[in-house]
Structure 1
Amino acid sequence: MANSEEQTPLMQQDEEEKDIYRGEKDPETKNADFVNQVNESTMAPLDQPEDVYVAQPEVPQRQPWRTGIFSCMGSHDEFVGSDLEVCVLGLFAPCVLYGSTMERLYPGRSTFSSHCMAYSSLYFMGHFLFNGNFLAPCFSFPSRSALRHSHNLQGCGESLVNATGCCSSLVRDEERLKRCESLLDFAAHLWCHQCALCQEAREIRRRTVHPAHRPRYCMTMAPPAPQVMSPSH
């Protein structure tokens, strides 16, 4: 009985404390909420992934043309005979020169005849309607862009930027540079059409072999099997 009488005041005190702190949270929960508030307000988020640097692939540097657009006789090297032929064809038969360039650029059975006939039709139509060769350049200027892309050559705009240093931001913007070079290719064929045809012909003759001189059949040979010497008895 004595023990029960001693415990009664203590139990009453516990009940009073529970009534006082009934609306509050447990100490562990209070501490956890406080830590979360501190982390959200003053500290960086936990477990934040670090920035990973990904190396961008290097763009291959474009090469300059081996002859200039006004180098009618080439650069007086071992291609002097071919350059003379190109000059004569560009002056008297640009349709044949254009067809030959396209035949080297896109080897195929009827590449020369189809491009030569299409160019000739536009050539005579332009002279008949406008008294000048104004239609064929609109048809032939994509060959200049295709040649630049296939052999990674510099365009007129990039060459001008590298020579003068102005408008250097144009070289860094690939899309703007591509549109600008296409317009310059069209302008080169429109205003200096025969010179542009000759430059393209000289360039592709220095870089590719005529389709007639390429081997038609290529026989693939398997490498020999590895041989192992057996130990002598």
Structure 2
Amino acid sequence: MTPEQEQAIEEQMALLAESKIYAGEKEPETKNVEAKSEESENTEVANGLPAGPVGPVIGAPVSRNTWSTGLFSCLGSQDEFLSSDLEVCIVGTFAPGVLYGGNMQRMFPRSNSFSIGCLSYSSLYFLGTCLFNMNILAPCLSYPSRTALRRKFNLQGTGENLANTFGCCQGANDESHNERCESILDGAVHFLCHSCALCQESRELRRRLPHPGFSQPAYLPLAPPMEQHMGLTTV
């Protein structure tokens, strides 16, 4: 073998060594990382785990909102709604039918919500006072409004509040069973602390919903008329 052939063979071996394609050479590190990531993803999928980043789980329990004021907070929370809370306290004490009608008007903003709620409540109030010498019939009408208010704003029920405060009244995992228990407790709150329950609901509604009469302007602004020009015609 001539020296020229030996030199050519050495150059070819050097090129092969640089390109790293001869047998037994390891692959680059990037390929190893990609292979490991693919292998881990395949393992997670095989085990029933998501391969990508985990987001919020659909169907997870949603935390309940707390009431703005307590059941026995007659003067509210001493904030910017102080004058409104005083009004609620006075009206709820001396004219609960008017307060109940206002609550219905905010929850169901229709033209006759206030009149229907006020007249229905007042009729049951006077009937219960005449027959039983106490307001025992009106709570049968008013307690479903507390349940509707809780569901509308996802508020804590009486059972959940007792469970968080004292660790009692722990309900079952069945959501429908817990809701039935909360509805029964809503009725108990209205029968035992009727005026306080009406006032608490009114304070909550005034903080969350505007009065239907002030939600829209009393008048609609009118656009100014367009300028008109008279054209001259020649005879």
**3-state SS of 2:103 partner:** helix
Distance in structure 1 (CA, Å) of the matches to 2:49 and 2:204: 40
Structure showing greater radius of gyration is 1
Give me the TM-score of the superposition, normalised by structure 1: 0.68
Contact 1:134 1:190 in 2 (8 A): yes
Gaps of 5+ in 2: 1-45, 51-56, 219-235
Structure 2 counterpart of 1:159: 161
Moved over 2 A (4+): 50-56, 164-168
Structure 1 counterpart of 2:7: none
What percent of counterpart residues are identical?
54
Q: How does 1:12-161 map to 2 (within 5 A)?
A: 56-161=58-163
Distance in structure 2 (CA, Å) of the matches to 1:56 and 1:86: 40
Distance in structure 1 (CA, Å) of the matches to 2:147 and 2:100: 14
Q: Larger RCO: Structure 1 or Structure 2 (Cα < 8 Å, ≥ 6 residues apart)?
A: 1
1:90 to 1:167, Cα distance in 2 relative to 1, 3 A: closer
Give me the TM-score of the superposition, normalised by structure 2: 0.67
Aligned CA-pair RMSD:
2.1
Structure 1 counterpart of 2:201: 200
Contact 2:74 2:196 in 1 (8 A): yes
1:156 offset after TM fit, Å? 0.6
Distance in structure 2 (CA, Å) of the matches to 1:194 and 1:209: 22
Contact 2:72 2:196 in 1 (8 A): yes
1:77-122 deviations in Å (ceiling 9; x for gaps): 0000000000000000000000001100111000000010000000
Distance in structure 2 (CA, Å) of the matches to 1:52 and 1:123: 61
Contact 2:159 2:169 in 1 (8 A): no
1:53 to 1:96, Cα distance in 2 relative to 1, 3 A: farther
